[in-house]
Amino acid sequence: MTPLERTFCLVKPDGVQRGIVGEVLRRFESRGLKLVGLKMVHISRAIAEEYYAEHRGKPFFPGLVDYVTSGPAVAMLWEGENAVVVVRKTMGATDPAKAEPGTIRADFGLTISRNVVHGSDSIESANREAALFFKPDEILAYDRAHDAWIQG
């Protein structure tokens, strides 16, 4: 059996405002991932600047921070085999115009700056991002009756 991974995902303010949080959750659950953390947040500037730290100094950094702090977002932690890759494939390419049909960004993204969701690009990023939004006691471990059927 492949070891389980945990990854972070954020429904950005445009996804919340457009009322598609449930659709995003549904798509990840349909892929067999297990939701182990979920909360609605209004991201502070300090957290946003840390969240997007790798882009600090780039011309678009201030816009990213302004955008992600502009309204509520939904932070999620997903667990499953190859969770990082599964979430990223389900989301699609960052630019909705280049995303594969049937992905979240192809179906709901409007532009590269309004693409509905973020997902961690590695386990290391997932751990760093998760720690910004979740305390250890907010991450749940539990068994699902159907796990034996979907885990190799």
Catalytic residues: 118
Is there a contact between 16 and 41 (Cβ–Cβ < 8 Å)?
Answer: no
64, with CB counted inside 10 A (0-12, 13-18, 19+), is middle
Cβ neighbours, 10 Å, residue 55: 15
Is there a contact between 10 and 37 (Cβ–Cβ < 8 Å)?
Answer: no
